[in-house]
Chain A
Amino acid sequence: MKKKNNRHILFVLPALGLFSFIMIFPIGLTLVSSLVEWRRFIPQSFGTLEHYGRIFTDPVLVKAFRNNFVYIGLTLIFEGFIGLVLAGIAQNMKRSLGFRAVIFAPVILPSIVIGTLWRQMYATNGGLLNALRELIGLEPLVWLAPPYTMLSVSIVSGWIFAGYFMTIFYASLSRIPTSVLESAEIDGAGPMRIFFRIQVPLIKNMIMLALLVITTGGFKGFDLFQILLRRDPLQSGVVLPTYLIRTFFEHKDIGYGSALSVVLTLVVLLTMGIIHFGNKRFVGEIDEY
């Protein structure tokens, strides 16, 4: 290491400048803005808590929170659990490269491409899924409306991200020494048993990371909701991020929109804290492969 010289900070300054200008300063601005009385984009007075008061009496926000929780529950299954099962299947294949490549492929596509394709597949007339349902004699469904709204969006999320979680689980599973598995096999355990009783517990840190990513991601997801549910007059699929964007950008309700972003930020950070400390308390540090 070169001896101490404070001019070395010059190397950090460009990144620090951009990072502070784009991410840190605007957080402060959002906080201030949530305490301001606005008329469209013109500040009227500072020091109001009215926007935070609205949070507790807003029925749409309650719905958004409920939908967010449903979405998180469903994506834990469709992204996380299915991703884990796919990693297990790939582990037990002789050559899984092609299989894994296909399932990971949607991760690289823009959300607008996948969202538009699935909106098309869900269409009542001319949609792929209802055509397949009719083929086997089932009634067509209105997929992107209650009671199926959240389920349909979560299926698309799973279709995209199961491959992502499969890939990180597969990488962890591959690091488990074969000797561990061989001894289990000698003891006569079948592949399912070995997978769920031995391999899965050995990668529980990676599983906790996935839990963290999916749960916090569930509060941040915007694209698919916006693209799939463009017209959602009953707000059956409203979630925190879309409600925030609509409040701020469509209704030009600057103060309340800012308060909602503060709420969203706190929810995400709180969730991270809970999972992080829960993990330390109940799972503990173990060898990770």
Chain B
Amino acid sequence: MSTETFGKTLAKNLGRALFVLVLLAYLIPIFWMYSSSMRSNGEIILDPLGLPTKIDFSNYATAWEVADMGRHFLISFTITAISMVIVVVLSTLAAYAFSRLEFSGRKALYVFFLLGLILPVQSFLVGLFIMFRQMGLLNSLWSVILPVSAIGLPLSILLSKNYFDSLPSSLEESAYLEGAGTFTIYRLIILPLSVPIIATVITFTVIGVWNEFMIPFVMVQNADLRPLTTSLYVFSTKYSANYALKLAALTMIATPMFLIYFAFQSQIQKGITAGAIKT
């Protein structure tokens, strides 16, 4: 065997070995989460590698109850839905003006929004806390909705503007001739043509807001008003010793997300990487 083909075979086998190792590194933790979620706490501690002896969902019921998960699901759902509407409406309106209309300060304002892409959340988080505290907004859903929506704006405006720029301007000309106003054109011509970009904006906004941890962690101290993410913190504090309940709770949150993810995999990957990959 010449060194060349030897090198190729080596690379191939190395690639295969890596492939299997990597898949195991991802599948074993997930499998362990599912299998342990159906065992008792004692069983897990005695033998972490054991398999469930029966299909048993009692941990799920208990975890759902002690963490009041129905309530927190609903709170997360409300926060996500409202934020999604705010981001989509505000960003497409602004992007439409930046892309299609002429007014003083247009360029400067656009650059001002782009500033939001480089600012870390920590640059305004404590100031925002002081402000919300003065306004009595802490411990309300708005103390989460407003920041997560604002954070979503810069990237949504950037992507929407780029998309609108790619639409031919001939689209609106005849509408203008017939006397349509700018808002009518936004609503009846631009928006209906923008389904792909709106879908992308919705994808990263919904996933980002649903998963947000730091903002509700500091803004919502009232345990009854926490979204799902920070409400789960009880499994790191009060119920931290109960592995079985904890893993059952995680499974209940992860499973629907996995199902949605594997059904819309390419759309979701595209949405989440939209900021990095040019389209």
A113 contacts across to B, CB distance below 8 A? 232, 250, 253-254
Residues of B199-227 at the interface with A, using a CB-CB cut-off of 8 Å, are 207, 210-211, 213-214, 217-218
Known: A27-B123, A116-B250. A86 touches B22 (CB 8 A): yes
The answer, yes or no, to whether B4 is at the interface (CB within 8 Å) is: yes
Q: What separation, in Å, do the CA atoms of A196 and B247 have in the docked complex?
A: 41
Q: Is the CB of B176 within 8 A of A2?
A: yes
Closest to B15 in A: A89
Known: A2-B176, A121-B29, A159-B25. A190 touches B11 (CB 8 A): yes
Q: What separation, in Å, do the CA atoms of A48 and B18 have in the docked complex?
A: 57
The answer, yes or no, to whether A200 is at the interface (CB within 8 Å) is: no
Q: Is the CB of A30 within 8 A of B265?
A: no
- The 8 A CB mask of B177-188 against A (1 = contact, 0 = none) is 000001000100
Q: What separation, in Å, do the CA atoms of A159 and B33 have in the docked complex?
A: 15
B122 contacts across to A, CB distance below 8 A? 220, 222, 241, 244, 261, 264-265
Q: What separation, in Å, do the CA atoms of A258 and B113 have in the docked complex?
A: 23
Main SS at interface, chain B: helix
Cross-interface CB contact of B101 among A8, A106, A117, A120, cutoff 8 Å: A8
Q: Is the CB of A5 within 8 A of B27?
A: no
Q: Is the CB of A168 within 8 A of B276?
A: yes
The answer, yes or no, to whether B121 is at the interface (CB within 8 Å) is: yes
The answer, yes or no, to whether B105 is at the interface (CB within 8 Å) is: yes
Q: What separation, in Å, do the CA atoms of A132 and B120 have in the docked complex?
A: 39
B90 contacts across to A, CB distance below 8 A? 14-15, 18
Which of A8, A191, A258 has the most chain B CB within a 10 Å cutoff? A8
Known: A2-B100, A108-B207, A190-B4. A22 touches B150 (CB 8 A): yes
Q: Is the CB of B113 within 8 A of A33?
A: no
Closest to B252 in A: A113
CB distance from A6 to the nearest CB of B (A): 5
Q: What number of residue pairs across chains A and B have CB atoms under 8 A from each other? A: 279
Main SS at interface, chain A: helix
CB distance from B204 to the nearest CB of A (A): 10
Q: Is the CB of B113 within 8 A of A18?
A: no
Cross-interface CB contact of B11 among A41, A188, A192, cutoff 8 Å: A192
Q: Is the CB of B113 within 8 A of A19?
A: yes
Cross-interface CB contact of A171 among B150, B172, B261, B277, cutoff 8 Å: B277
Q: Is the CB of A112 within 8 A of B230?
A: yes
Q: Is the CB of A258 within 8 A of B153?
A: no
Known: A15-B94, A191-B11. A110 touches B236 (CB 8 A): no
The answer, yes or no, to whether A245 is at the interface (CB within 8 Å) is: yes
A216 contacts across to B, CB distance below 8 A? 120
A97 contacts across to B, CB distance below 8 A? 265
B18 contacts across to A, CB distance below 8 A? 85, 89
Q: What separation, in Å, do the CA atoms of A89 and B17 have in the docked complex?
A: 11
Q: Is the CB of A9 within 8 A of B105?
A: yes
Q: What separation, in Å, do the CA atoms of A74 and B195 have in the docked complex?
A: 40
Q: Is the CB of B218 within 8 A of A245?
A: yes
The answer, yes or no, to whether A148 is at the interface (CB within 8 Å) is: no
Known: A26-B124, A132-B49. A123 touches B243 (CB 8 A): yes
CB distance from B26 to the nearest CB of A (A): 5
A157 contacts across to B, CB distance below 8 A? none
Cross-interface CB contact of A127 among B4, B48, B126, cutoff 8 Å: B48
The answer, yes or no, to whether B55 is at the interface (CB within 8 Å) is: no
B186 contacts across to A, CB distance below 8 A? 11
Closest to B253 in A: A113
Q: Is the CB of A110 within 8 A of B229?
A: yes
Residues of B100-145 at the interface with A, using a CB-CB cut-off of 8 Å, are 100-105, 109, 112-113, 116, 118-131, 133
The answer, yes or no, to whether B149 is at the interface (CB within 8 Å) is: yes
The answer, yes or no, to whether A254 is at the interface (CB within 8 Å) is: yes
Known: A113-B254, A131-B48. A104 touches B269 (CB 8 A): yes
**Which 4 pairs across A and B sit closest by C-beta, in order of nearness?**
A26-B127, A29-B127, A22-B150, A11-B97
Residues of B participating in the A interface, judged by any CB pair closer than 8 Å: 4, 7-8, 11-12, 14-15, 18-19, 22-23, 25-29, 32-33, 44-45, 47-49, 86, 89-91, 93-94, 96-98, 100-105, 109, 112-113, 116, 118-131, 133, 146-147, 149-151, 153-154, 157, 169, 172, 176, 182, 186, 207, 210-211, 213-214, 217-218, 228-230, 232-233, 235-237, 243, 246-247, 250, 253-254, 257-258, 261-262, 265, 268-269, 272-273, 276-277
Residues of A participating in the B interface, judged by any CB pair closer than 8 Å: 1-9, 11-12, 14-16, 18-19, 21-31, 33, 41, 85-86, 89, 92-93, 97, 99-113, 116-121, 123, 125-128, 130-132, 135, 159, 164, 167-168, 171-172, 188, 190-193, 206, 209, 213, 216, 219-220, 222-223, 226-227, 230, 241, 244-245, 248-249, 254, 257-258, 261-262, 264-265, 268-269, 272
Q: Can you list 27 A-B pairs, Cβ within 8 angstroms, ordered by A? A: A8-B102, A11-B97, A12-B109, A19-B154, A22-B147, A25-B127, A30-B123, A30-B127, A33-B127, A33-B130, A85-B18, A89-B22, A101-B261, A101-B265, A102-B23, A108-B257, A117-B250, A120-B243, A131-B48, A131-B49, A132-B49, A188-B4, A193-B7, A216-B120, A245-B218, A264-B120, A265-B122
